[in-house]
């Protein structure tokens, strides 16, 4: 089946900005995430991978430029979740095609032989996690339900029906390569039947149908470090899908979304909050309680404090994710003007105004 246009998949124009592409991806990734569609898992998983593939290319300026000029062939001609430059390129062209061109040209000259090409690294996975403001500040652990391919428990990843074994490939005699004559040259290429392994499976495993892996759901505990930013991506090594034919596992990438806080907002590693102050407190000074991420603390307000005055609480902000210290809490004072005065308050303020006029 021909690949769909990446812009069409995300529902954006070719002139779309990076921010428009990101917004479109986030919306579709949530809509088609397999965990949100348990009754239509297979179809939505394919759509999720298609959306992820499109975003992976269009969010990278170099890949996008290559795609705009050459289409799908400009970005390797294919994609797996976790697409990453030459590694995916190599996966797409192992066994036959591009790899065989090198075999044909240089195999006999250097006397080399390619290893079996059935081994492939597992795909990377992406998972969205929503955490609270406090969890981002102090770090947390989350249990996620991850749907992925794992090694088949019946054949232990071999793809062979238990009690049977692989047999020598009849086409190459177990050598993993075949010789062909082209004009004056004797060329060697990877055996197309066994893909260079030298053996074939006669009786595939009935559980995994010879693939050596099955799709299953697992509960995984992931640690989110203190100081993580909104929309940051964390890599969890080796928690992606299992590889094919003994290939190593892919990785898991967590896309972190931090919920906004009712009181605080983040500026780098500092947190900012606005604290209301009455007219009398601002004029005469006071000792007040202010919120922090670890509870309330008392601070002294000097007499004559103006609205928007800044107070700083050292080390009450967010820990730097790289370990370079900790931010501060920035308190912005907002002096409130009274709106409903009783008769006594009005008299006192009128008297205050008269004194002000005399002293001016």
User: How distant, in Å, are the alpha carbons of 140, 160, 200, 205 from that of 163?
Assistant: 46, 8, 15, 10
* Whether residue 226 is found in the same domain as residue 143: yes
Domain assignment present for 214: yes
What is the predicted pLDDT for the residue at 105?
Answer: 37
* Whether residue 230 is found in the same domain as residue 145: yes
Query: Is residue 317 predicted with pLDDT exceeding 80?
Result: yes
Query: Is residue 318 predicted with pLDDT exceeding 60?
Result: yes
**Beta 185-190 vs 177-182: how paired, if at all?**
antiparallel
Q: What is the pLDDT of residues 111-147, one digit of tens each?
A: 333 334 467 888 899 999 999 999 999 999 999 998 8
Q: Can you tell me the mean pLDDT for 302-310?
A: 94
Query: Structure tokens of 75?
Result: 């970005």
d(CA 204, CA 206): 6
What is the predicted pLDDT for the residue at 245?
Answer: 74
Q: What is the pLDDT of residues 79-118, one digit of tens each?
A: 433 333 333 333 333 333 333 333 333 333 333 333 344 6
Query: Is residue 170 predicted with pLDDT exceeding 80?
Result: yes
* Whether residue 230 is found in the same domain as residue 294: no
Q: Can you tell me the mean pLDDT for 169-184?
A: 82
Q: What is the CATH number of the domain that holds 302?
A: 2.60.260.20
What is the predicted pLDDT for the residue at 185?
Answer: 67
* Domain stops at, among 233, 260, 287: 260
CA 2, 8, 14, 16 torsion-angle sign: negative
* Whether residue 336 is found in the same domain as residue 244: no
d(CA 319, CA 1): 49
Q: Where are the alpha helices (DSSP H) in the chain?
A: 6-10, 18-32, 41-58, 61-70, 86-92, 98-110, 133-138, 279-284, 343-359
Query: Structure tokens of 101?
Result: 């061109």
d(CA 261, CA 258): 9
Domain assignment present for 232: yes
* Domain stops at, among 260, 292, 310: 260
Domain assignment present for 51: no
What is the predicted pLDDT for the residue at 84?
Answer: 37
d(CA 322, CA 220): 24
* Whether residue 161 is found in the same domain as residue 134: yes
Q: What is the pLDDT of residues 259-304, one digit of tens each?
A: 999 999 999 999 999 999 998 999 999 999 999 999 999 999 999 9
Enter the pTM of the model.
0.57
What is the predicted pLDDT for the residue at 192?
Answer: 86
Q: What is the mean pLDDT of the chain?
A: 82
* Whether residue 144 is found in the same domain as residue 251: yes
* Domain stops at, among 219, 237, 260: 260
What is the predicted pLDDT for the residue at 85?
Answer: 32
* Whether residue 135 is found in the same domain as residue 250: yes
Domain assignment present for 192: no
Query: Is residue 19 predicted with pLDDT exceeding 50?
Result: yes
* Whether residue 288 is found in the same domain as residue 253: no
Query: Is residue 77 predicted with pLDDT exceeding 50?
Result: no
* Whether residue 273 is found in the same domain as residue 225: no
d(CA 227, CA 207): 44
Domain assignment present for 215: yes
Q: Which domain holds residue 237?
A: 121-166+201-260
Q: What is the pLDDT of residues 209-223, one digit of tens each?
A: 888 888 888 899 999
Domain assignment present for 346: yes
Q: Return phi, psi of residue 207, to 5°.
A: -80, -45
* Whether residue 235 is found in the same domain as residue 289: no
Domain assignment present for 325: yes
Domain assignment present for 235: yes
Which pLDDT band holds residue 352 (cuts at 50, 70, 90)?
Answer: confident
Query: Is residue 308 predicted with pLDDT exceeding 90?
Result: yes
Of 33-47, 75-89, 170-184, 187-201, least confident by mean pLDDT is: 75-89
* Whether residue 237 is found in the same domain as residue 290: no
Work out how many domains the chain is built from and give that number: 2
The 3-state secondary structure of 249-286, one letter per residue? CCCEEEEEEECCCCCCEEECCEEEEEEEEEHHHHHHCE
* Whether residue 211 is found in the same domain as residue 330: no
Q: Can you tell me the mean pLDDT for 66-79?
A: 67
d(CA 214, CA 148): 8
Give ∠ CA 191-196-201 in degrees, rounded to 5. Answer: 95
What is the predicted pLDDT for the residue at 118?
Answer: 60
What is the predicted pLDDT for the residue at 268?
Answer: 94
């Amino acid at each position: 089946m021909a690949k769909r246009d990446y812009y069409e998949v995300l529902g954006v124009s070719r002139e779309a900005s990076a921010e428009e592409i990101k917004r479109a991806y986030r919306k579709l990734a949530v809509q088609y995430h397999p965990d949100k569609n348990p009754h239509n898992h297979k179809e939505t998983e394919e759509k999720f991978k298609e959306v992820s593939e499109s975003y992976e290319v269009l969010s990278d300026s170099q890949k996008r430029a290559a795609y705009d000029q050459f289409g799908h062939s400009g970005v390797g001609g294919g994609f797996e979740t976790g697409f990453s430059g030459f590694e995916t390129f190599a996966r797409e062209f192992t066994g036959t095609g591009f790899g065989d061109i090198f075999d044909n040209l240089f195999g006999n000259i250097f006397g080399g032989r390619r290893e079996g090409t059935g081994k492939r690294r597992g795909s990377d996975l992406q998972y969205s996690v929503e955490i609270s403001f406090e969890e981002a500040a102090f770090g947390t652990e989350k249990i996620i339900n991850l749907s992925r391919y794992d090694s088949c428990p019946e054949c232990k990843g071999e793809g062979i029906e238990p009690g049977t074994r692989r047999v020598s490939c009849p086409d190459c005699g177990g050598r993993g390569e075949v010789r062909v004559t082209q004009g004056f040259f004797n060329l060697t290429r990877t055996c197309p039947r066994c893909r260079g392994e030298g053996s074939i499976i006669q009786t595939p495993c009935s559980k995994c149908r010879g693939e050596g892996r099955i799709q299953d759901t697992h509960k995984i505990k992931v640690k989110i470090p203190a100081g993580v930013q909104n929309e940051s991506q964390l890599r969890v090594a080796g928690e992606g899908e299992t590889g094919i034919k003994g290939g190593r596992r892919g990785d898991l990438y967590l896309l972190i979304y931090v919920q906004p806080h009712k009181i605080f907002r983040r500026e780098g590693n500092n947190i900012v909050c606005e604290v209301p102050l009455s007219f009398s407190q601002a004029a005469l000074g006071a000792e007040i309680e202010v919120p922090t991420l670890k509870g309330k603390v008392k601070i002294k307000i000097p007499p004559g404090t103006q609205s928007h005055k800044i107070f700083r609480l050292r080390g009450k902000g967010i820990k730097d994710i790289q370990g370079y210290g900790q931010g501060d809490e920035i308190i912005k004072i907002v002096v409130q003007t009274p709106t409903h005065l009783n008769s006594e308050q009005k008299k006192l303020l009128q008297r205050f105004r008269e004194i002000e006029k005399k002293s001016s």
